Amino acid sequence: MTTADKIKYILQKTGWTRDQFATEMSVTTPSVYNWLGGRPPRQRMLDKIDELYEQTKDTKSKVLAQRGKIRILYPYYSHQSMPWERR
């Protein structure tokens, strides 16, 4: 995955604008546009982008792990009445 792809993924998952991403990274907005255009960032910025990408990627699995299992207490079939309905 390219750096531009990682940045696009981060922007999509966080809902940040390019300006907000630039502020978070402590860089100028044109730098972000350059990275998205294919220009490689410096190693320090590349490390920060990779760290943000990993944090963003882990969020989904953490949320799913916290949810637990879903149990269906009363399966519903259209030809049956529900236990709480009068017959």
Per-residue confidence (pLDDT) for residue 65, from 0 to 100: 52
16 lies in some domain: yes
How many domains does the structure of the chain reveal? Answer: 1
8 lies in some domain: yes
7 lies in some domain: yes
Q: Give the domain CATH number at 39.
A: 1.10.260
Residue 87 reports pLDDT greater than 80: no
Q: Is the pTM of this model over 0.85?
A: no
Q: Could you tell me the sign of the dihedral formed by the alpha carbons of 76, 82, 84, 85, in that order?
A: positive
10 lies in some domain: yes
75 lies in some domain: no
Domain range enclosing 37: 3-65
User: Over the stretch 18-72, which tens digit does the pLDDT of each residue have?
Assistant: 999 999 999 999 999 999 999 999 999 999 999 999 888 865 555 545 555 656 5
19 lies in some domain: yes
